Structure 1
Amino acid sequence: MSDLIYPTLDLFIYALNTPLNATYEETQKNKIAFLSQLPDGTQIDDSDSETEYSKLTKPAQIDFKSNDEELEGYYYPVRLNDTYGLQIDCSVKNQTDPQPAKRFKTLKTEIDSRHHKELVAIGQTWLLSGYLSKDFFQNPEDIAQDCYYALFEDNNYQQKSSGTFLGSSIFEFLGSRNLDRNESSDRHVIIAIYSNRESAEKAAEFYSDWMGLFCYRNKITWAYRQSRLVKESLIKHYKKVEENRKIIDQSDYWQKKQNFAISRKILNNISDILQQYTIDLLKLSFQKKIIEINLSNYQTRLNLIKEKANRSDRLDFLENFSDLATKKYLLQLTKDIENMQLGLQLLKDTINAIRSHIEVEKAARDRNFQEFVAVVGAGVATVSLLKEPVKDCKDIFSKTDICNYPFSFSLAIGVLVGFGFWLLRKRLL
């Protein structure tokens, strides 16, 4: 038997208010999307000032009525710096009779009907809670497992951890979604099985703490997912440059005259890729900074929770996330940034090498053109000089037909002089 008194389900949803480089129109769009999660006509007091934790409505809780008369619930919207947070709470009104674990499925259906999908969430956390009946002995771990299965029909989780909170049992279930596969979100579920009503009522004082803690956790996992996407983009940029470099590195590439214009296009293309690569590298560093800031906030909030709770409580599973963020997320990002910076230097070297090839080719072309101009100039000058003297050629070449064709004679002499001038330049230069 897996019965709980006063089963309560809370969904904590988080969405960005002002993403990096967001325009005023984009910020307003995010605000409208967040408002769409609340009842029609709800007004929020959302100033532009930075605030660590701000309640957005008066009263802070907005109650809702369910079509199921046995249920009750409320919305609780807040803003945490650049992030909107929304708690949707739904519970069974009966606070005396034990309810089967499958009641959580009913609660989830109610919450899902009030959570509009147009909100682009950066993450979410489910919190299930209830307290045990004094009349029956039940294993909290078995109840937590049944509650999870009632909530998610796939019965699929990657990891389960446990601890104690307010002298009661608390469990964490992590979904099977893999962050390294860039899934949209990991499934994060907390299930608190309180030993008595007093502990359950005391736990209600921690909702604002959970709101902050889950926010920092979801922002850390979101930033890491974003960093994986940015890394993929950086790798694609690098591969494109490598493809262009291989074309230019062909042994006979520079011997083909038509490739000079192609090389200029390739150089411009690589320069554009380098610019995008540099921007993505900055984004990667930015995601690392997001993780560092939110990890610090997470640890601070967790310490506050531990101070408010019983000294004997064990919340190691929450502290394990700090280790994961430090030893995996931050370490991986640090290595990625170092490697991608090396890649940036290689890209710059590639551009410099191509530019040098192009400059050498251009200089050779300019030199050939100058030689051509010089040779033609010498020929033209010779023809001009012979223009007048050739009129008197009959006195010199009276026994030949040369003087009958003065222009052809001048042109031939000009060509011979030009050819001789070209040979002379070749020997001297």
Structure 2
Amino acid sequence: MSNENWLIYPTVDLFVYDLADGIGQNEDKISQNRELFLQKIYGDNISALQREQLKQAETETSDYIELLKNPNTAEFEPPLDGYAYPIKLGDTYAIQFDFSGNRELEEDKLLAPKEIDCLESLKQQVISRVNSPATIGQSWFISGQLTADDQDALTTAKNCYTKLNLFPNAVWDRDLQTEGQFLGANFYELWQPPGDKGNISQNHHVLICLFPYNSGQSILVLSKAFEEFYTHLIILFAYRNKVIWAYTQSRQLKVRLKDSSGKIQQFVNQLLAQVNSPTVDLKELQKNLVDFLTISSAYASNISGLEQQENTIKTNLINYQIRLKTISQKMGTDAKDFKFMGKFSIFVKDKYVWQVESDNRSLSGGLRLLENAIQTIEGIIEIERAKSDRTLNVTLGAVGVGIATSGVYASVYAGQIKSAQNLDVNTVFWSSIGWGFVAGALGAIVLIAIGKKWR
């Protein structure tokens, strides 16, 4: 077997990111988020003390909070050589799982070459601890030392990728995004981005780091310089995964907005048919107004959400670029040392940012169409109400004239009752009604004529 299938101290790290407190989430939802994250640290055996300690740790006013104190890691149970390191970055939970197999007390056994077939079992052990899937995303980091000076790093990395079996239908040449050297180690970044259906579980990402053999120099010495690197890496991957998560959220919003756009167009077509009909059904218009207001509220909320995701993508992309510079400046010998990881920034600018900006521009038009339709319906309803008010006023006016005339006629005859003993009361009553009706009819004609004149 070639030495390209062997590594010294192969180690698997998984960085998992979960939403801690999203926009609009209440205390119950935030507590649920905390509980799910605690399960990643302790499994199902969570004590009340551990819940309270995590809750208290979150109250710190810092963008980088270590959620465990003294020690700041949760060690895997013996004989496993691994730990979980949980932190909180702003509104995001992050946890690093580090695992390299069984603990070896003797350095010779610890640093003895191992077949890279072991990477599969290391990966499965880590996955078993994650419990619920990451809500924002996750990234893998695979590291190890070459076993000889003449061992080919590229071939070894390809073999690691195949044995890990992390990606569905993995193809090295397609999935390789970038490669470079940093602090003497060879890096290979591979990624399968999620599709445009908004499924974050389709996001697969791994960074493979292979230390040189250096004539047998201990990997423990080589990796010592990487202790600070892990701190930068957990932050860098957080920004990266937040960008991808925000884009998948925007794809879900786009689907809902496009579906609403179709309904809006249907409503508008129905409205045009109603407006052009000989008679207008006021009740139907009022029902349409309620429907338009309902869909308008949901549509505006989704447009606002799309804008928020656009801002999230842009903000985290900037933070990702700044962190790359920070890593190079603080750890590299050259300011450009870690810049090979900047290919992700180019991809995000060219695809994610451009796409979401374009969606925002095109889909915002539906909101303006809704606003115009609502104003149109409200205007028609006001016109119809005004017509109804005029008809009512004409009727009331005619009745008023009739009643007044009847009253006058009845008063005249009432006066005659005192002087004419033989006056028939029934005649007086029906005569007043009759004259009132005639007067009311004449009044209605006059009021209608006046109304037509002033329309």
Q: TM-score, normalised to structure 2's length? A: 0.81
Describe the SS at the equivalent of 1:174.
strand
Shift of 1:207: 0.9
1:371 to 394, 400, 403: 394
In structure 2, do the counterparts of structure 1 residues 129 and 389 end up closer, same or farther at CA, with 3 Å as the change threshold? same
Shift of 1:313: 7.4
Query: What SS is found at the alignment partner of 2:273?
Result: coil
C-alpha root-mean-square deviation of aligned residues, in Å?
A: 2.9
Are residue 86 (structure 1) and residue 92 (structure 2) matched?
A: no
Percent sequence identity is: 29
SS of the counterpart of 1:387? helix
Distance 1:182 1:56 in 2: 31
Stretches of structure 1 lacking an aligned partner (at least 5 in a row): 394-401
Corresponding position of 1:262? 284
Distance 1:310 1:3 in 2: 30
**CA deviation digits over 1:108-136, x for unaligned, max 9?**
1111221111x65211001111111117x
Q: How does 1:129-148 map to 2 (within 5 A)?
A: 129-134=143-148, 137-148=150-161
| Structure 1 residues 379 and 313, CA gap change in structure 2 (3 angstroms) | closer
Q: Measured at CA, do residues 320 and 127 of structure 1 come closer, stay the same or move farther in structure 2, by a change above 3 Å?
A: same
Q: Distance in 1 between matches of 2:372 and 2:404?
A: 47
Mapped contact 2:264–2:366 kept (Cα < 8 A): no
> Of residues 25, 35, 51 in structure 1, which corresponds to 2:38?
35
Q: 2:12 aligns with which of 3, 6, 9?
A: 9
User: Structure 1 residues 132, 155: CA separation in 2 closer, same or farther (over 3 Å shift)?
Assistant: farther
SS at match of 2:190: strand
Are 1:106 and 2:121 an aligned pair? yes
The answer on whether the counterparts of 1:271 and 1:351 sit within 8 Å (CA) in structure 2 is: yes
1:259-289 deviation line (CA, Å, top 9, x unaligned): 2122223213322332333333332222222
Could you tell me which residue of structure 2 aligns to residue 396 of structure 1?
Answer: none
- SS, match of residue 249 in structure 1: helix
CA distance in 2, matches of 1:124, 1:12: 5
Give the secondary structure class of the aligned counterpart of 1:59: coil
Unaligned residue ranges in structure 2 (runs of 5+): 214-218, 418-423
> Structure 1: how far apart are the matches of 2:8 and 2:303?
52
The counterpart of 2:309, out of the listed 271, 281, 287, is 287
Amino acid at match of 1:62: A
Structure 1 counterpart of 2:176: 160
Partner of 1:194: 211
User: How far did residue 422 of structure 1 move?
Assistant: 2.5
Shift, 1:365, TM fit: 0.7
**CA offset at residue 202 of structure 1?**
3.4
Conserved in 2, the CA contact under 8 Å of 1:55 and 1:78?
yes
**Residue 170 of structure 1 corresponds to which residue in structure 2?**
187
Is the aligned partner of 1:59 residue 2:75? no
8 Å contact from structure 1 (residues 75, 89) kept in 2: yes
Q: Number of residue pairs matched?
A: 414
Higher helix share: 2
SS at match of 1:38: helix
Q: Is the 8 A contact 1:230 1:280 kept in 2?
A: yes
Residues 20 and 33, structure 2, Cα contact 8 Å, conserved in 1: yes
What secondary structure sits across from 2:210 in the alignment? Answer: strand
User: Bigger CA drift: 82-91 or 402-411?
Assistant: 402-411
| Aligned equivalents of 1:338, 1:12: Cα separation in 2 | 35
Find the counterpart in structure 2 of residue 397 from structure 1: none
Q: 1:290 to 1:312 in 2, by over 3 A?
A: closer
1:118-174 deviation line (CA, Å, top 9, x unaligned): x65211001111111117x44333322232222227343552122223233211111
CA, structure 1 residues 90+404, in 2 after alignment: closer, same or farther (shift >3 Å)? closer
Which residues of 2 match residues 2-401 of structure 1 at below 5 A? 2-39=5-42, 40=45, 41=47, 42=50, 43-44=53-54, 46-57=57-68, 58-65=70-77, 69=79, 71-92=80-101, 93=104, 94-117=109-132, 120-134=134-148, 137-152=150-165, 154-156=168-170, 159-161=175-177, 162-175=179-192, 177-178=194-195, 180-185=196-201, 186-196=203-213, 197=219, 198-251=221-274, 255-256=278-279, 259-307=281-329, 308-311=331-334, 315-387=338-410
- Which SS does the other structure have where 1:142 is aligned? helix
* Distance (whole Å) between structure 1 residues aligned to residue 91 and residue 274 of structure 2: 55
Q: Higher mean Cα deviation, 307-316 or 323-332?
A: 307-316
1:282 counterpart SS class: helix
The CA deviation string for residues 339-376 of structure 1, in whole angstroms up to 9 with x for no partner, is 34443333222211111111001000111111111122
CA deviation string 1:318-355 (max 9, x = no partner)? 20111222232223333333334443333222211111
Contact (CA 8 Å) 1:213, 1:302: kept in 2 or not?
yes
Cα–Cα, structure 1 residues 251 and 260, in superposed 2: closer, same or farther, change >3 Å?
closer
Cα shift at 1:23: 2.7
Contact persistence 1:125–1:187 (CA under 8 A) = yes
Q: Determine if contact 2:324/2:339 at 8 Å carries over to the other structure.
A: no
Q: Are the counterparts in 1 of residues 84 and 97 from structure 2 also a CA contact under 8 Å?
A: yes
CA contact (8 A) 1:156 1:176 kept: no
